[in-house]
Each structure stands twice: as structure tokens, then as C-alpha cells.
Amino acid sequence: MSEMTLEAPVAGVKDHSPEATIALLKERYPEHISDDARDGYEGIIVHPDKIVEISRDLQSELGYNYLASLTGVDLIDDNKLEIVYHTASIKHGGNPLVLKVQVDRDNPVLPSVTPIWPGAEYQEREAFDMYGFQFEGHPDLRRILTWDGFHGYPLRKDWREPFYEEDNKPFGSRWPGGEVFRAEERNLYGKNVQYPAGWMPEGDEIEAETDSYAGITYSRDQSPDIKTEKVTINMGPQHPSTHGVFRMAITLDGETIMGLKPVMGYLHRNHEKIGERNTFIGNIPYTDRLDYISSMSNNHGYVLAVEKLMDATVPERAEWIRILMVELTRIANHLWAIGFLLNDLGALQTPMLYYYIERELILDFFEAASGSRMMCNYMRFGGVAYDLPDDVRGQPVMKFLHDLIYERLPKALNQGDQLITGNEIVRARGMGVGYLSPEDAIAYSAAGPVLRASGVPYDLRKANPYSYYEHLDFDVAVRYNGDIYDRFLIRVDEMQQSLRILQQVLPHLEETEGGAINDGKPQYAIRMPKAGEAYGRVENPKGELGYYVTAKRRDANPARYHVRSPSFINLTALEKMCIGHKVADVVAILGSIDIVLGEVDR
């Protein structure tokens, strides 16, 4: 990759911190930028007219070339809707720069930033779907998580779901006069449904499977001599290789892919709406179910975000335990991802089964430590829920971990290496397929292994360090070809690095044996001492996982709770990777992105 693309041509700018950049922007656009003066908030509020220009300046000149997250917020008290942009600098790392645009709640129109950051495409569609923002200049503004024709904008604060009980948990009907009921018993239709008053079913409502070809063109080829047609085919949501209920509409010319539109929302379980009803602590087990293969990392991101709001301090032992858990999760996740990728490539089952044996051992440890194999619910604000267990599968815990980290897992990785890395079929299917250039990877907001396999060494553990990662010695895995094979190799590299980290963590765990693992006493009702916003980001196995949480003072429920999920945003680049390849490569490319639908659809 040329140095030019990464190194922004910032003439004379020395300081790349968000504060300095904001000062620079203020000089340029004094009329259109104001500080976000709300208590506990950061960043700047930008006038909607200038957001595109300011974004362009940030992206092309000032080094903030990566749009980490874009989300809507409903400020119902001010009768406004807000879009929050988190932009980051790939080259310089550090904290993200926060931009906000506020628009009228009744007429939420603002320009789209997709011309600058194509990675905003699905995020803007989501904001449209959930809040009703109208993005001018967006190439394809349709519902993304719900379906066309859905009534209302569900994340608006005044929108109520059919089983609405109260705005916030805990619900009053549970105690002290708790008479059990099933919510459907109180619904006229006996189901989780509601219809707008006076709505009459016509019978011509869009059927589920036809509504999504809208984004893709079905066209007749104009070549005069040969009569060819492009065909649109459907893949999913029930398909063995879509890693869940994911669906793609693909336009083909012969077998070559000309266009591809992902269709999502088949697992949209309203994580954010429920999360805003929940108490802060009640969201922890829900985060387990986002990326259900790596629940520990999800916990970590969420508690980091809320700890920023609380100013909590985490005891040393708890931090080491967190890193232990998170890195083991990374290995478990990559074992799973590689197993499935190879499954998609045709290595049916064998590597997958071998890898799962190792994953089961990691799950055994999680189960012994937290009580559940997958839904760990292990971290708490200011620490972790429990200390390490005494023993795992009949062995003292430290011996188990030592054997796992020093013997079992390296051996398994080595075996996987022998089994697959040199395999000619894997190389033939993987090399040069699904190429994503570094420029595109950044533009599409790709994260995690997808970004790093394209030659962009951006890892939040180094770029914007959290927890104790500063004190640990490890390398950012990076590969330069940006194809399926490199995305496979980079996961192996990352597992090696995780093992390296784990080997450094073990002595610390022994040192801090018996130390505190939680800050203060366990509290079932956490109230935020102060108002404000926080964006907690961690390097999830799949990429940057961010939680945007806002709180009101003395409130036990988040006012806004948004998840920036890496799987969802990585999919934005899927079409780019697939075009020009054969239809059989789609599953492999999808497998190499490693999505989890719980996180894509939330």
C-alpha cells in the first residue's frame, strides 16, 4: 500500500488529538460548529448543511479517515433527533472524534455522508429504519432491520411495542403484588402484534421473500449478438452456509456476480429498544447474546463504556482476569470462524470438528468460571462477577490454564496448520478471491481481521489502548493481500498473538491471587451518579465493538444504548469483495468476514 493513502497530507498540523482537530475545524467553520455543552458530553455539534464538508476535511486532510460509528439518538425533550458520528484516525490512533448533527424531530432531513464514507451506508439505513432520518444523497435508503411497510420508527422514545408495560424496568407488576401472566394473554390477538387503528389487511402486503430485490436491478444485457440475461438469485435466510439467518440477493451474469445486496433483520431482536428499557446492569446478560460466540468480549466493551460514565476503578486482578477471558474468547471465536470458513470452502466438517474439541475445552473453563458455556455474563461494573474457580475438569485452575495455554492450544494450532495451511485446494479457493484494497477497507469502515488482512495495522488494543493492553507485549497481526486466504491466515496469527498475551497474563494472575476482583459492594441497582455519554470500544474478535451509552443524572436506565457491531458494518464491504467472482465464492467470502447474526441484526 502506498504511504499516501494512510498518511493524510496535513500541512503543518502536528497535533492529531481530537481537541486540536476540533480547534482547527472551528477556525474553518466558525458559524457552523458549536461545542456540545451538555453536561458530560464531548465533541462538537455541526450544522447539517456543513456536515459533508467537515467530514470531507476530516477524512482527506485531518487524518480522521475512519468512520467508526454512526448512530441516531432521540432527544425527545428538545423535540430533536441527533446523529452521532465517531470518527477515528487510522494512522494516529487515539480517542475518536465525536461529531453530532441535530435536526428537527418532525422533519429529520440531513445530507448523507456515504459519498465520503461508504461505510456509513448500512448505518444510515439503520438510522432511517429506527428513527426515520431522511438522508439526502443516500444511494439506497430503505428499511434494513425491519421490513418495508413496518409501522413507525421503533427506537423513537414515544413508540411503544405491543407488549409494552412500562418505560423502564423494573416493572411494577412483578413485585410486591406479582400475579403471573403471559404478555400475550393481555393482547387482543394473543400474539406479540399491534396494528395501527383502522388498518385493514388487503392481502397485497409485501410477501417476505419479494421485498428485498428492490435494491438490485434485474436487467437484460444489451449485447446485440448474444442473447444473455442477468439473473437474480436468492441465498438464504435458510441456507447452510450463511452462518445463520442471513440473506443475499445476487445478480449474476452467467456465474459471475454483478451485484449483491445483503438482506438483514431476520434475527433483529430489538436489542437496543430492550436495552433502553433495561437497567444498566440488566444489559450485561443481553450483551452476551449479541455476538454469541464471544460473549466475554461483549461484556467487556459494555462494562468499559459504563465504567467511563461511573468513573469506576477496576482492581488489578479483575483487569487481568478480564484480559484472560477476552483473549481466550478470541481464540475460541477464531477457532469457530476458521472451522466454518473451511466448511464453506468444502473441507466439510473435519477441521471444524478438530477445532471444536479445543473450543470445548475453553468453554469448559468459561463454564467453571462463570456458570455458562456461552452466555457468560461474567463482567460487572468495576470488576468481574466471580473469581477464578478452584478447579476445572478436576484440575486446579492455574494448572489447567497453564496446560491449555502452553501445550494444548499451541499443539492444536500446529495441527491445524498442518491440516490446512498448505492445502492446495484451500489456497486455490482462497488466494486472490474476495480482494479488498486497504483504501476500500478503511472507507467501508471494515474492522478487525478484515481490515488487518488488507494491510491496515489498526488494532484498538494498540491504537486506543484500554484495560492493561499497554503493559502487554504483542504484535498487531497484519497481512497484505486482502483475500480470503489472508483473512484465514490472519486469524491464525491473531490466535498466536493471543497465546502470547495469555502467557504474559498467567504470572500476573498468580501474583494477584486472592486480590479483590470487584470494586465496592455488589449492587443490584446501579444509578448513574452523573449525566453524560460514553463510547466504549474494544477489539472484539470480529472487529471494533463499540457501545454508545448515554445516561441522565441519577438514572438507572440508559437513555440511549447503541451497539456498533463489527459484523454488521463489515458486511458493507461484502458487495465490493464479491463483484466479479463466481457464485460459489460468495459463501467463502462471507465465511472469511466471519459474521454472527446476533450481532448483525441485534
Residues 306-325 that bind another protein (CB under 8 A): 317
Which of 39, 76, 350, 511 lies at the binding interface for another protein (CB under 8 A)?
Answer: 350
Residues in the chain: 602
Q: Of the listed pieces 51-59, 140-148, 475-483, 564-572, which binds another protein according to CB under 8 A?
A: 140-148
Coil vs helix vs strand at 60: helix
Which of 233, 353, 431, 584 lies at the binding interface for another protein (CB under 8 A)?
Answer: 353
Q: Does residue number 407 form part of the binding site for another protein (CB under 8 A)? A: yes
Integer Cα distance of 533 and 556 in angstroms: 14
CB of 529 to another protein, least distance (A): 19
CB of 333 to another protein, least distance (A): 11
Cell numbers representing residue 463 in the block: 491504537
Contact by Cβ (8 Å): 247, 212: yes
Contact by Cβ (8 Å): 368, 395: no
Q: Of the listed pieces 32-40, 65-73, 407-415, 529-537, which binds another protein according to CB under 8 A?
A: 407-415
Nearer to another protein, 41 or 406 (CB): 406
CB of 288 to another protein, least distance (A): 8
Q: Of the listed pieces 12-20, 378-386, 431-439, 576-584, which binds another protein according to CB under 8 A?
A: 378-386
CB of 119 to another protein, least distance (A): 24
Which of 63, 96, 118, 154 lies at the binding interface for another protein (CB under 8 A)?
Answer: 154
Q: CB-based contacts of 306: which residues, under 8 Å, 6+ apart?
A: 280, 381, 526, 534, 536, 547, 549
DSSP type of residue 78: G
In the range 516-555, which residues lie near another protein by CB under 8 A? 516-518, 521-522, 524-525
Q: Of the listed pieces 53-61, 297-305, 371-379, 561-569, which binds another protein according to CB under 8 A?
A: 371-379
CB of 188 to another protein, least distance (A): 7
CA atoms within 13 A on the CB side of 532: 18
Integer Cα distance of 102 and 110 in angstroms: 9
Nearer to another protein, 257 or 556 (CB): 556
Which of 156, 269, 552, 582 lies at the binding interface for another protein (CB under 8 A)?
Answer: 269
Nearer to another protein, 451 or 600 (CB): 600
In the range 482-521, which residues lie near another protein by CB under 8 A? 514-518, 521
Torsion of the alpha carbons at 515, 520, 521 and 524, rounded to the nearest 10: -120
Q: Which of 161, 162, 187, 183 is nearest to 174 (CA)?
A: 183
Q: Does residue number 265 form part of the binding site for another protein (CB under 8 A)? A: yes
Q: Of the listed pieces 41-49, 249-257, 393-401, 454-462, which binds another protein according to CB under 8 A?
A: 393-401
If phi over 0 gives left and psi between -120 and 50 gives alpha, with beta otherwise, what is residue 520? Answer: left
Which of 7, 49, 167, 360 lies at the binding interface for another protein (CB under 8 A)?
Answer: 360
CB of 597 to another protein, least distance (A): 7
CB of 122 to another protein, least distance (A): 16
CB of 252 to another protein, least distance (A): 20
Using alpha carbons, list the distances in angstroms from residue 370 to 185, 284, 374, 452: 35, 13, 10, 32
Q: CB-based contacts of 314: which residues, under 8 Å, 6+ apart?
A: 307, 322, 382, 383, 519
Integer Cα distance of 1 and 440 in angstroms: 12
Rounded to 5°, the CA angle 447-448-449 comes to 120
Can the peptide bond before residue 176 be classed as cis, meaning omega within 30 degrees of 0? Answer: yes
Integer Cα distance of 442 and 572 in angstroms: 11
Nearer to another protein, 154 or 532 (CB): 154
In the range 100-139, which residues lie near another protein by CB under 8 A? none
Contact by Cβ (8 Å): 340, 542: no
Contact by Cβ (8 Å): 477, 497: yes
Integer Cα distance of 342 and 485 in angstroms: 10
Nearer to another protein, 103 or 426 (CB): 426
Q: Mind giving me the DSSP string for 271-308?
A: HHHHHHHS-TTTHHHHHHTTSTT-HHHHHHHHHHHHHH
Q: Of the listed pieces 50-58, 232-240, 488-496, 587-595, which binds another protein according to CB under 8 A?
A: 232-240
Nearer to another protein, 56 or 142 (CB): 142
Which of 1, 10, 24, 419 lies at the binding interface for another protein (CB under 8 A)?
Answer: 419
Which of 5, 270, 503, 504 lies at the binding interface for another protein (CB under 8 A)?
Answer: 270
In the range 157-216, which residues lie near another protein by CB under 8 A? 161-165, 169-171, 173-180, 182-184, 188-201, 205-209, 211
Which of 29, 41, 386, 468 lies at the binding interface for another protein (CB under 8 A)?
Answer: 386
Q: Of the listed pieces 27-35, 412-420, 478-486, 493-501, which binds another protein according to CB under 8 A?
A: 412-420
Q: Does residue number 597 form part of the binding site for another protein (CB under 8 A)? A: yes
Which of 56, 157, 427, 500 lies at the binding interface for another protein (CB under 8 A)?
Answer: 427
Coil vs helix vs strand at 484: helix
In the range 65-84, which residues lie near another protein by CB under 8 A? none
Nearer to another protein, 30 or 240 (CB): 240
Q: H or E segment at 135?
A: strand 134-136
